[in-house]
Amino acid sequence: MSIGAVARALTPSATGLGTHTQLGLPRCGFLWLTGLPCPACGLTTCFAHLMHGQLTAAMNCQPCGVVLFGMLALLLPLTVWAGVRARPFFETLAAMHVTRVARLTACALLVQWSVRVARLLLA
């Protein structure tokens, strides 16, 4: 089952967090221990919103999740492209400088998380 099919089957949580518990996963330990969301909090909810066509709701719960979802959506055509060119998939990714993109995405996620935590602490 693909990520998109799983996300489509989920009902996005109204709180913006916790949708992953519908998959039988435990609640976020970081959130439970600190009362603050972890950097990944809201990703499953964001993906579920996107698969239900709710872009604004997805952006509200996890802005970096929208970018990450787009990056994951590109994997299928990249896989096909690698097959057409008869090249290993990871060679195709390396040629596209995916490592740099992944680092930039991780930094953006951490910045977004820092802003989110700062807003919660100042509220």
Task: Express each pLDDT in 14-61 by its tens digit.
Answer: 998 999 999 999 999 999 999 999 999 999 999 999 999 999 999 999
With contact defined as beta carbons under 8 Å apart, do 113 and 68 qualify?
no
State the residue for tokens 């995405």.
105
Model confidence at 1: pLDDT above 70 = no
**Lowest-confidence pick of 70-74, 92-96, 113-117:** 92-96
Query: Which residues, including other chains, have CB under 8 Å from residue 68's CB and lie 6 or more apart?
Result: 43, 105, 109
Helix (H, G, I), strand (E, B) or coil at 35: coil
Question: The whole model's pTM is what?
Answer: 0.82
Segment among 54-63, 86-95, 104-113, 114-123 with least mean pLDDT: 86-95
Q: Which two tokens stand for residue 1?
A: 């089952």
| Residue 53 Rama label (left phi>0; alpha psi -120 to 50; beta) | left
What is the structure's pLDDT at 36?
93
Q: What's the structural domain count of the chain? A: 1
Domain of 106 in residue numbering reads as: 3-122
Q: How many CB atoms lie within 10 A of CB 79?
A: 13
